[in-house]
Structure 1
């Protein structure tokens, strides 16, 4: 597992990028000719007071080359089939670049609208013209929506608005919960017991999810001010989230498979302990490796999109991830059905049912939210999936936590006695405490 986590971290840090709404780069005549206009960025404007600011380091060279910044709203499907000259003439706004700074106000948008920014110059549509060997133009483009005061200072695109507030509230909930439950949790971990390993893994996964939320908040707080954010924090947020997901997956698969394999050989006096065997370890590791590879593939596929699209799953890797989660949910359902249908103890059956609820919420929330997001507005889909997945997985973790933590005395006592649970608890006089 340590080798897998190291590979996950290295790949996430190397491949992940944060594309903000302060875009810095080079205007290149060769690229503009090849692409029929050099693509700069996309931005979704909403409401009033939208603004585009373009800053140049060499305005005299830009004027000599007849450099232009072109803005297009709602690019249609016929875009790729247009000729170079037709594409340039369809621009809603054409900004002639001849000064150090140019400001362009975006008219009021009745609904959130995606605007595309392209660069072109006198050589873009002249395939026979020789491009002189001059230096490239260094530029900085700022794209701004109106903030709460109506001023164009908000770097968040319409589909990103509100995510910073969500992560702040999530961090606040983590902080309050940790203040309340850290002491009883520490005591439960010190006490040990048959489910000690499960509690440690769940604690580590919750902590990793908290670190991911913290990194996301720090990145977005900076992003809201400069439109770039902190790419390292964005990468770490994705990494911690991936590690938490594979940790929980390994735990759930190990528990279900080990319970199934051990039912025929383990005496009833030692129920429901996490006993690793070659078969259960192979199944768990196989599922973890598959999910880890798909998560890295999805991250690589989304490296050119916004930071919040990590959960959108619009690529082939994302579709395979959804299929994997549905398959694992069906596998767990089959395993738990076999266990529940043959279990005579009501308390154990209730335990398995609660465990199944946590598992299904963890695995199926993502596929269901992706399907549900199709009925909402386009600019809300990523937020619905991202916020929904984070909340549902956190709730699933809490369900599993409460399940194993509240029943820890039962597993500890039942592992030492062959009598039924109610008699055991009544004899120990501990029923009221749990």
Structure 2
């Protein structure tokens, strides 16, 4: 059963990482962007999109370096900058309108060209687009000249007012959050790893559940570590470690797939087995072909939507794989899936709880429902709440909120399965030796 869970959760996310490694890291998702200015691409797209960056305050700078200023002059190469046109605003402009609507134009006449960004009284997203003499020419054009190699660096002002901060306004603060999160995981590990390992060695009906929870939590810790390492490097060079960023996404996908499989199969398995199980038998992971099929289907659907969402938002600011939410069809379907699963499991848990005559078991199911629904609904609810925040705060609200809520859900389930299951209640093990136990009620 656990092998099936891991395989289902791993298959599609692994394909995502293969695409990342084979296709290369998209330049538009980093704030130090290197590549080639291509006249043919610029002509076909009415301007070659290079990157976007959310500037805030004063002292913002965009630095454009080219390997041949002579070739850039011959091609009349320019960088056009547009403010507040992120929502497909550029797509509605003709080629000639794009040239005239740009707020700033950088003529690439030097090997290094610096452009100061006007003071932004509120965080504002800017797009950088490359054009040259061929971009808007009508008729047949001979594009015999070679491409122009470039490096673009976008910088906000740091705390001292110097343009050294590679983080866009919507990303500012994530580095500190992941540092605090890693520190919290480290402290918790020092306190609870040994007693948790001792509890796992005891076995029992809840052993499989505790193993899945531990694996999911370990993957979340791996996600936090990789994200922090990537952002720590990103803060210095604006590129970071893309492979670690992809690994962080992979850890998160597998963790979410494992949790989804466990929650669905537990709920449905308990329901299908209630008529067969003696009341004196301890609560445990009851699997059946129906519950396994539903759980595997949910995992595969979630994995497919996560990959589709990541592909749809490729080239945006989500270089950490932050969920795109309701901006893409995949994001909408992902929210619908999670809400739908919560609505599907709600009557199941309600039926179990209302028909259970044992107060201890009823309390067990109620606590499980709280942890279950917190895990399923935190993302959709936070996406809904985030609309009241400013644009540059929404991604951080959702990212930080989802991580914290899912961590709380995992801790709640740990408390439940370690201290509230009948196995632990009737055993002779001392609750003092168990980590994260809930004391004082029984």
Fold shared, TM-score > 0.5 on shorter chain: yes
Superimposed CA distance per residue, residues 266-323 of structure 1 (whole angstroms, 9 cap, x where no aligned partner): 1111032212222222222222222222222222222222224532322111111111
User: Matches of residues 4-403 of structure 1 in structure 2 within 5 Å?
Assistant: 4-16=8-20, 17=25, 19-75=29-85, 79-128=90-139, 130-305=141-316, 306-308=318-320, 310-313=322-325, 314-403=327-416
Query: 1:218–1:92: structure 2 CA closer, same or farther, 3 Å change rule?
Result: same
TM norm structure 1: 0.92
* Equivalent pair of 2:66/2:148 in contact (CA under 8 Å): yes
Find the aligned partners of 2:140 and 2:203 in 1 and give their Cα distance. Answer: 77
Of stretches 80-89 and 343-352 in structure 1, the one that deviates more from structure 2 is 80-89
Pick the structure with greater CA Rg. 1
- 1:12, CA displacement in angstroms? 2.0
Find the aligned partners of 2:382 and 2:112 in 1 and give their Cα distance. Answer: 43
User: Matches of residues 418-433 of structure 1 in structure 2 within 5 Å?
Assistant: none
Gaps of 5+ in 1: 415-424
Find the aligned partners of 2:429 and 2:204 in 1 and give their Cα distance. Answer: 19
Query: 1:375–1:429: structure 2 CA closer, same or farther, 3 Å change rule?
Result: closer
* Equivalent pair of 1:50/1:105 in contact (CA under 8 Å): yes
* Equivalent pair of 2:61/2:115 in contact (CA under 8 Å): yes
Name the Cα RMSD after superposition: 1.9
- 1:214, CA displacement in angstroms? 0.7
Query: 1:350–1:99: structure 2 CA closer, same or farther, 3 Å change rule?
Result: same
- 1:191, CA displacement in angstroms? 0.7
Find the aligned partners of 2:315 and 2:14 in 1 and give their Cα distance. Answer: 18
Find the aligned partners of 1:210 and 1:384 in 2 and give their Cα distance. Answer: 20
Query: 1:129–1:60: structure 2 CA closer, same or farther, 3 Å change rule?
Result: farther
- 1:14, CA displacement in angstroms? 2.4
Of stretches 46-55 and 255-264 in structure 1, the one that deviates more from structure 2 is 255-264
Of stretches 78-87 and 375-384 in structure 1, the one that deviates more from structure 2 is 78-87
Give the number of equivalent residue pairs: 421
Partner of 2:268, secondary structure, is helix
Query: 1:430–1:122: structure 2 CA closer, same or farther, 3 Å change rule?
Result: closer
Partner of 1:43, secondary structure, is strand
Query: Which position in structure 1 is the counterpart of 2:436?
Result: none
Partner of 2:314, secondary structure, is coil
Find the aligned partners of 1:292 and 1:71 in 2 and give their Cα distance. Answer: 36
Find the aligned partners of 1:430 and 1:137 in 2 and give their Cα distance. Answer: 70
Find the aligned partners of 1:247 and 1:266 in 2 and give their Cα distance. Answer: 26
User: Matches of residues 407-426 of structure 1 in structure 2 within 5 Å?
Assistant: 407-408=420-421, 410-411=422-423
Of stretches 342-351 and 203-212 in structure 1, the one that deviates more from structure 2 is 342-351
Partner of 2:401, secondary structure, is helix
TM norm structure 2: 0.91
Partner of 1:310, secondary structure, is coil
Find the aligned partners of 1:359 and 1:37 in 2 and give their Cα distance. Answer: 48
